[in-house]
Every structure is written in structure tokens, then in C-alpha cells.
């Protein structure tokens, strides 16, 4: 039988005779460490992270069941295989140990060679499991990279149509991240704003204006104010964006990473009081993703230089967001923005496109 020479085994037993037998049986093949009580076992496991633990149950003070329970509660040691080695041979004893997370249960008196064989089997299983986790992790990283590249490629289309959107895309996704983090513990949003969803919101934000690729140049690039008819056409970018992403999403399924991108593209121009577009949604009927994006999008539009406007100073932009509380913006999100307004200003300064924008952001009024 092939021994796993690089593996380490922690033997936990309060009887020296048992320890001597196990060290003799395993010492030639593994790096064996010893603990004679539960507390010492926990300390060694936390410090050395052995590949497997042979654990007696009947010990003075902290018994083996409690040691196993604590090992499995600690993220640093919960994946270490635990094999109980004990004189307690009743079925209910074995069931209790396995329920706590042990991988095996060997009764005393034991055959040292049988123990060695089962240790080797469990170490091989651990080695296979660890390798499988590495493969899954690498595959996950590849999928995440594919998601990022897909989103960046689609967002670049909008940037090519309107070069002024480049900085806007960079800034708004960081605003979205900051606002989502500020809201993550809010009772209304904590179930939605998980680590994974916040990451997807951050990645998806650059696609909020992807629908502008479908707007005619004479409207999209017009240096002056749009006519009513032109504005009606501009408003369709929310529909164009939704449909474009939905078409891509069909190939991936409705649970794909693009679901937030589609929501944001369609709903970021909706208003809390129902006066927005394209669907006139109001209040909590507006997706959370769209409500977050609305704050980020409006703030950036205010502090940015455009061919038809100069940048508005940060304090005025903040007051406009505050004034829109309960009409344009979700009140809770407007309040959260007010609490982190300086963070928004620093993001805008870092990613500003023009010196004129930096001056407006520095202007304390």
C-alpha cells in the first residue's frame, strides 16, 4: 500500500501505551505529532493543520466529542478528517461521532496495521478531495474571468459610440459598490446584498447604458438640449439595453450572471414616485439593483463635464440627491448616499476625466 509520506497525523490519547503503539505504527510513513488532552489537541490542530487526526473519546476534562465539535466549528480546522479511536463500541456512540463530522470510527483494542491502512485510505481520499477543490477553484476563476471579459466587451461598445461614457462607466461601478456595501446591513436589503450579489452588481453596472448603442448619433451626440421627440427616442436606450442583454441571457439561462445587468439596464431611469421610464415603476416595484444604479448614475451625471454642460460642484450634487429623497430616489438609499458622500467624492476625484471636474469636486462652496 502506498504511504503518503508528506502527510501529517495528530494522535490524541491520554494513554501513553496507546500513543506509543500508534507512533510506532505510523511514524515511518507520516509526520506524527501527539497530544494527551483535548485542549492541547485543539492548539496543535490550529497551529499545525495536520492532514488527519486520530482522536480518543474518553479523556479527562474535554472529551473527544467536544474536541471534534470545536474542530468542525473552526474554519481553519473543519476540513481536517477526524477518526475516532475509542473503547466506546456501542452503535449510538459511533453514530454520535459520525454525526459530529468524523470520517471513521475504530474501536479499541485495535490492530495497528488496520489503523495504518485506514489512515492511509482517508489521507488518499483527502488528497483527492483537495485536488478536486483546486480544480473547482480554478474552473470558478475561469468562469469569473469570462464574466468580466463579457461585460467589459459589451460596455466597450457603448464607450465607442460615446467616448464621454468611458470615465462614467469606471466611476459608476465603484459608486455602486460603495453604496451596496453601505446598505448591506440594512434590514431591508441585507438578505439581497450578499457578497456574491454585491460582486455581481459591481460587475454589471458598466452595462447600464449599453442600450445607447441603439440610439441614433444625431441624438446621442447632440451638443444641445434634446427636443421632446428626441428625448423620447433617447429614453428607449433602457429598452434596447434590456433586450440586448436578454438575447444574450437566453443562451445562459435566467439564473445567469447577466440577470442584474438586465435589471439595471432597464430600470436605472425609474423613479421612486413612479415618474421615471420606461415602465413607470414606483417604490419597491423598482428592482434594488436599479435603485442603487439610479443614485450612482445621477450623481455622476451632475459632477461630470459634458459638451452641453459644466460639472456641478460636489455639495450641490449632494443636495440634489438629498432633495430627490422619496421622489426620485429610494429614501433609504438617499440616506445611505448622504452618509458616504465623501467616499463618492473621492471616487470621482480618482477617476475624473477633466481638470474642470476635479476643480468642481474640490470646490467647498
Tens of pLDDT, residues 175-195: 999 999 999 999 999 999 999
pLDDT at 96: 86
* Rg of the chain taking only CA atoms, in angstroms: 30
pLDDT band at 1 (very low <50, low <70, confident <90, very high): very low
Dihedral (C-alpha) 111, 117, 118, 120: value to the nearest 10 degrees? 140
Contact 278, 236 (CB under 8 A): yes
Residue written as grid cell 466611476? 171
Q: Provide mean pLDDT across the span 48-62.
A: 93
Minimum mean pLDDT range among 91-100, 208-217, 222-231 = 91-100
Say yes or no to pLDDT of 364 above 70: no
pLDDT digits (tens, 9 = 90+) for 157-179: 777 776 666 688 889 999 999 99
φ/ψ of residue 119, rounded to 5: -60, -45
pLDDT at 3: 46
pLDDT at 181: 98
Helices 165-183 and 288-303 cross at an angle (nearest 10°) of 130
Q: Distance between CA 344 and CA 304 in Å, rounded? A: 13
Contact 251, 146 (CB under 8 A): no
Beta-carbon contacts of residue 128 (< 8 Å; ≥ 6 apart):
none
Contact 64, 56 (CB under 8 A): yes
Q: Any idea where the domains of the chain sit in the sequence? A: 8-134, 162-362
Residue ranges of alpha helices (H) inside the chain are 16-26, 38-48, 64-73, 91-99, 112-161, 165-183, 195-204, 217-220, 228-235, 237-252, 259-267, 288-303, 314-323, 331-339, 341-350, 355-362
Residue written as grid cell 470615465? 167
SS3 364: coil
Q: Distance between CA 260 and CA 133 in Å, rounded? A: 28
Q: Does domain 8-134 have CATH number 3.30.1330.90?
A: no
Minimum mean pLDDT range among 38-47, 90-99, 247-256 = 247-256
CB atoms within 10 A of CB 327: 13
Q: Distance between CA 51 and CA 49 in Å, rounded? A: 7
SS3 241: helix
Dihedral (C-alpha) 194, 197, 198, 204: value to the nearest 10 degrees? 180
Say yes or no to pLDDT of 81 above 90: yes
pLDDT at 2: 46
Per the prediction, the chain carries an average pLDDT of: 90
Contact 210, 243 (CB under 8 A): no
pLDDT digits (tens, 9 = 90+) for 248-265: 888 776 556 788 999 999
Cis amide prior to 278 (ω within 30 degrees) = yes
Beta-carbon contacts of residue 193 (< 8 Å; ≥ 6 apart):
180, 183, 184, 186, 288
What would be the CATH architecture of the domain defined by 162-362? Orthogonal Bundle (1.10)
**C-alpha grid cell for residue 159?**
464607450
Q: pTM for the full model?
A: 0.65
- Of 163-172, 175-184, 201-210, 351-360, the range with the highest mean pLDDT is 175-184
Q: Distance between CA 327 and CA 21 in Å, rounded? A: 76
Amino acid at each position: 500500500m502506498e504511504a503518503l509520506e508528506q502527510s501529517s497525523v495528530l494522535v490524541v490519547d491520554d494513554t501513553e501505551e496507546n500513543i506509543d503503539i500508534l507512533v510506532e505504527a505510523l511514524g515511518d510513513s507520516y509526520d506524527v505529532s501527539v497530544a494527551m488532552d483535548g485542549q492541547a489537541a485543539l492548539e496543535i490542530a490550529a497551529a499545525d493543520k495536520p492532514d488527519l487526526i486520530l482522536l480518543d473519546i474518553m479523556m479527562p476534562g474535554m472529551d473527544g466529542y467536544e474536541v471534534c465539535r470545536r474542530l468542525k466549528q473552526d474554519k481553519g480546522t473543519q476540513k481536517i478528517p477526524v477518526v475516532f479511536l475509542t473503547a466506546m463500541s456501542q452503535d449510538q456512540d459511533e453514530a454520535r461521532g459520525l454525526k459530529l463530522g468524523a470520517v471513521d470510527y475504530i474501536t479499541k483494542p485495535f490492530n495497528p496495521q488496520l489503523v495504518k491502512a485506514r489512515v492511509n485510505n482517508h489521507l488518499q481520499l483527502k488528497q483527492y478531495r483537495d485536488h478536486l477543490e483546486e480544480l473547482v477553484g480554478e474552473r470558478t476563476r475561469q468562469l469569473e474571468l469570462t464574466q468580466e471579459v463579457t461585460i467589459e466587451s459589451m460596455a466597450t461598445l457603448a464607450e465607442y459610440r460615446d467616448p464621454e461614457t468611458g470615465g462614467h462607466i469606471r466611476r459608476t461601478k465603484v459608486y455602486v459598490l460603495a453604496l451596496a456595501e453601505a446598505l448591506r446591513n440594512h434590514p431591508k436589503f441585507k438578505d439581497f446584498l450578499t457578497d456574491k450579489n454585491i460582486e455581481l452588481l459591481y460587475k454589471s453596472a458598466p452595462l447600464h447604458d449599453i442600450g445607447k448603442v441603439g440610439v441614433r448619433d444625431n441624438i446621442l451626440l447632440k451638443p444641445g438640449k434634446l427636443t421632446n421627440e428626441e428625448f423620447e427616442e433617447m429614453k428607449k436606450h433602457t429598452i434596447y439595453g434590456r433586450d440586448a442583454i436578454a438575447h444574450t441571457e437566453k443562451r445562459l439561462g435566467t439564473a445567469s450572471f447577466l440577470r442584474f445587468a438586465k435589471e439595471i439596464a432597464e430600470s436605472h431611469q425609474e423613479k421612486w414616485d413612479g415618474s421615471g421610464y420606461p415602465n413607470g415603476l414606483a417604490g419597491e416595484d423598482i428592482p434594488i439593483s436599479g435603485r442603487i444604479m439610479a443614485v450612482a448614475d445621477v450623481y455622476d451625471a451632475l459632477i461630470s463635464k459634458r459638451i452641453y454642460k459644466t460639472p456641478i460642484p460636489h455639495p450641490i450634487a449632494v443636495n440634489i440627491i438629498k432633495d430627490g429623497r422619496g421622489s426620485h430616489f429610494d429614501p433609504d438609499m438617499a440616506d445611505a448616499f448622504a452618509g458616504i458622500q465623501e467616499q463618492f467624492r473621492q471616487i470621482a476625484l480618482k477617476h475624473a476625466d477633466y481638470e474642470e471636474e476635479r476643480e468642481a469636486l474640490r470646490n467647498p462652496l
